Amino acid sequence: MEQKEVTNSFPLIGDKFPELTVQTTEGQIKLPDDYKGKWLVLFSHPADFTPVCTTEFVAFAKRKDQFDAINTELLGLSIDQVFSHIKWDEWIKEKLNVEIPFPIIADSNGDISKKIGMIHPGKGSQTVRAVFIIDPKGYIRLILYYPQEIGRNMDEIVRVVKALQVSDEKNVAVPANWPDNELIKDRVIVPPPSDKKAAKKRLEDYECYDWWFCHKENT
């Protein structure tokens, strides 16, 4: 029987993350079910034993406490076999004195990466530096993509998870560079009014630049 080729698809923000059973350095994991009730940062790297990827793994590991504090798990992925992941994990601990505290998916045939759009079309079979932030209900809330040559900013990944959580909890929008926005600092933006009466009252209830740009304390 002819095997059907897996195409390189691309899930969108708001989509339910596809149900997948994956092999990792810590055994099999069912996505997204095994992370129900948790936020998940799923990130791909081009290859084990490469300099930029090594710096990224160290950066993620050093921020594990920050992710734990915001109910967020980390999960890596590349098109390498599990023994390569394990050996690289050991190398980082031995040479750099950093223990990798999260599992790494072994996607040796690339099928998983193709299903979620992680294959760089101009780079053969290697994965891009993709980041999917998945909420506790299994929905994709944010997607980041970096080229192979540029390492990610892990503080930004921590920041956007916090921002998503604040937005969900308080039904607000979050400004640029939050919590250090140039106009309103760590305050948050009130959703737009639905009618003229609400627009007029908005100026009485909140601090505003105008009725369409009102903000409040993040409390």
Over residues 168-196, the pLDDT tens digits come to 999 999 999 999 999 999 999 999 999 99
53 is catalytic: yes
pLDDT in the model for residue 128 = 86
The structural domains of the chain, ordered by start, are: 20-152 (3.40.30.10), 171-219 (3.30.1020.10)
pTM of the model: 0.92
Tell me the two tokens of residue 47: 């290859």
- DSSP 3-state assignment of 72? strand
In the sheet that holds 213-216, the strands lie side by side as 188-189, 213-216, 207-210
Q: Where are the beta strands (DSSP E) in 49-172?
A: 72-78, 104-106, 129-134, 140-146
Q: Where are the beta strands (DSSP E) in 62-109?
A: 72-78, 104-106
Q: pLDDT tens digits, residue range 76-90?
A: 999 999 999 999 999
Question: What span, in angstroms and rounded, lies between the C-alpha atoms of 187 and 181?
Answer: 8
Catalytic residue chosen out of the listed positions 31, 40, 41, 53: 53
